[in-house]
Structure 1
């Protein structure tokens, strides 16, 4: 066990002998001094793991000593001990960046708890997190090996995401490999579940099914509209559940979470299909059939989501809503700033829909740019990059303004992304789509097995562009690769974040209702 060194400064240090002996018996090395001046000398001479300062020392007070210690050793944690309960002293100590604040009389266990909290926090968190995950491991495995429904799959993915974030906080991440293996196994079982149930959800009206992309606005957004109170519907493109869980704590000072749910993205899990379905309230086959002027097929070079605003208006009219609405797509910093500058006009609308594309651009940039790949070499760093973006984004500023105005928010995404590792050979002609996680076209050749194949697009509510059109979706962490130039293709796209296929990460996505906290 590491022997931690503690400096204790108190003008009545002799009276603390029992406390000091207690800590020494617990394995800590204690250095004692009688004044702030002596404490400063010791800090200049050597390093300590934690410093205890009495606030009421004669001469140099504890607060004055604290200031000098923070100049000399800003990273050394300091615990302030005082007889006074005056608020201004607490404020000054907290403002001086103390690690803890104890009020006399103190007992040895109080001191021990403070030391453990400061010095062994990560170690204790690691031990308990690993222990609790090991205990839950069997429950999760048993759950996804049983015949379960869409709600239970959502619960399993939420629980796996929870453990991923908890293990990420541990010192050596020793359980990460075990969790990765469990997620791989869960994804394999989830792919079987989707193959067995997805088409039934779309064609059998009387069975239990999840909320799908085209139902989100009707079921979860429009019912929250209130007369005289604006509602913001914010879609962060490509946002996975784990990324939302990283963002949510940043919003907690401003919002209460009224509901924290998930919904299932339709296939393909791409902008062209899933996000257009989200805004239009229709499946792709109906968008193509009833609104050919708005739907961009796979055979065109046009952007596949250029008509979201028009689809949104169609959805509003279809639901017979007499409301004033706005739509904004934010791709660049200046567009985000323009939304903030226009906020006073937005709060006069019943519904404001905003699409933020940064996370999608980040996933594509990670594929194309070596620097981004080095900044986000793994899932943990990818989440960290998302958090850093959000903290400094115009979107965060918008959330704060919304909270201050008293408006409510529904936050969601169109689909998530999957980090792909394993190539899957497929052959097709020049008309086949280029997406790595799904292929749409005719005369597709591939080895059956680790794919979800749909030969009758009508059953999946997908448009078909000729008689022999079929759709093939990659599952788990596979990605499609053509035989020609195979090695280059595989090396370039392996370990990149992709979407379009079947995985927990792509299909089960966050859907959250926030209400302002301090309005």
Structure 2
């Protein structure tokens, strides 16, 4: 089907050669000599793109543009003008033009503009596919180069980049090829974690990545400074790809100073990872130091009720007990609106910690609610839902209110999540926990190839809930089900987003420094 172009210009007779050039390229071009006729034509005929002269007698290009957009605001309009004044360009851009060309224009300029508008998706898709084909071998070599933890962080950043680039591709075959490579990366990453994780937690080992319990000490405390209010924002369960999806919204008001990654501890679950962040301790040490505050999975009561107390104790241990700080946890929209209303009062503090729980709630709600399963049925739609939330969230509104102040932002998360696909059977006694990406209990029976197992929880800094308790962590896209009602739970949880286990998505997570523009 040919593309229909409408060219509106009071000197249209002088443009005959350009119109013939476009017609020879396969475009169907209609032309009128004034804005009134152009508006009437758009109302009566289907049009794919309008080429619009800015300076015309009777009704100007900007006035014509406004009436065309009032009739159909989806029609792309290319403004063509001799006038290069800044205020005219701003008016045109503010009126939602698609492109802007300065007279005299040659046929190739017009053709290029049309290709950007009409063929953009196809051209981007083809270029993305070609570029990934060229990068495929480099990623394959990276995976087989025995990477260290920095190498794995770099590999995962590249995979996230290409995963989001694949959103632009119309090739299901290339997306399948990418998914296969990503699955292979998770297989190799699981082997790497199995070999190295316990070593990182040995006291004398200095060659280790920043983990949850060392994040605050290494990434937040060093940037605290007099005269600047630091906001440490922790968005629960925010994966690296979700951060990259919402980054453009942050970039409207804030400049990225540094973007890096750290690793969540195991289990990659809120009560373990987030308590470790705020206490600066591994869970076994939290239990030892704060007997009344720590609760294991099988104990009654909230598991993350004492983060502010843990933070206060960590600040003291770091010699920063005199800092003026606040701690705010957002669990619902009303609390978010209170943050918006109170955000200016926080500027008097040296440190403001904001814990925002929406993404984690979205993950759990998506498992339970059919409508959210439809809205977030794959990785791409899950990212899109995260963007929609943040764009309209009280957190975004609050940050915009202080984007012109002398502040700095450290944004991080406690763990990520993975879309699970493969159920595996685990047998345990009544005291075995119900989590589907990790479990602890006595006498666990499982296939060794399906999990990462630690017979002695103390080896990886975890409490020992009961005598002879062991921990197991699901690998890659596995999830753990009991034999009882196995088929029901296998189908219920399949393709849901879960956390607690070992995967790139759950363990390698972002930490970002930002300042107002």
Return the TM-score normalized by structure 1.
0.97
8 Å CA contact retained: 2:9, 2:34: yes
Q: Tell me which residue corresponds to 1:101.
A: 100
Distance 1:337 1:54 in 2: 46
Q: Tell me which residue corresponds to 1:36.
A: 35
Q: Tell me which residue corresponds to 2:272.
A: 273
Query: 2:22 aligns to what SS in structure 1?
Result: helix
Equivalent runs, 1:38-437 vs 2, <5 Å: 38-171=37-170, 174-203=173-202, 205-321=204-320, 322-437=322-437
8 Å CA contact retained: 1:167, 1:173: no
Alpha-carbon offset, residue 19 of structure 1: 1.8
Alpha-carbon offset, residue 115 of structure 1: 0.8
- Structure 1 residue ranges without an equivalent (≥5): none
Range with bigger deviation, 479-488 or 336-345:
336-345
Range with bigger deviation, 202-211 or 388-397:
202-211
Q: Tell me which residue corresponds to 1:459.
A: 459
Query: 1:347 aligns to what SS in structure 2?
Result: helix
Q: Tell me which residue corresponds to 1:13.
A: 12
Distance 1:87 1:399 in 2: 30
Range with bigger deviation, 171-180 or 270-279:
171-180
Query: 1:500 aligns to what SS in structure 2?
Result: coil
- Going from structure 1 to structure 2, the CA distance change for 1:138 and 1:13 (only over 3 Å counts) comes to same
Which whole-Å deviations, capped at 9, do the CAs of 1:355-396 have from their partners, x for residues lacking one? 100000000000111111111111111111111111111110
Distance 1:297 1:41 in 2: 71
Query: 2:449 aligns to what SS in structure 1?
Result: coil
Q: What is the alpha-carbon root mean square deviation over aligned residues?
A: 1.5
Return the TM-score normalized by structure 2.
0.97
Distance 2:55 2:224 in 1: 57
Q: Tell me which residue corresponds to 1:511.
A: 511
Which whole-Å deviations, capped at 9, do the CAs of 1:421-470 have from their partners, x for residues lacking one? 10010000111111100011110011111210101211101111233111
Distance 2:509 2:365 in 1: 22
Alpha-carbon offset, residue 354 of structure 1: 1.0
Range with bigger deviation, 15-24 or 49-58:
15-24
Query: 1:327 aligns to what SS in structure 2?
Result: strand
Query: 2:329 aligns to what SS in structure 1?
Result: strand
Alpha-carbon offset, residue 108 of structure 1: 1.5
Query: 1:429 aligns to what SS in structure 2?
Result: coil
Alpha-carbon offset, residue 62 of structure 1: 2.1
Alpha-carbon offset, residue 173 of structure 1: 5.3
Distance 1:319 1:313 in 2: 10
Which whole-Å deviations, capped at 9, do the CAs of 1:197-220 have from their partners, x for residues lacking one? 101111163452210000000000
Counting matched residue pairs gives 516
Distance 1:464 1:319 in 2: 28
Which whole-Å deviations, capped at 9, do the CAs of 1:379-422 have from their partners, x for residues lacking one? 11111111111111111012223322221010000000011010
Which whole-Å deviations, capped at 9, do the CAs of 1:307-358 have from their partners, x for residues lacking one? 1111111111111112111111100111112222222331111111111000
8 Å CA contact retained: 2:287, 2:463: yes
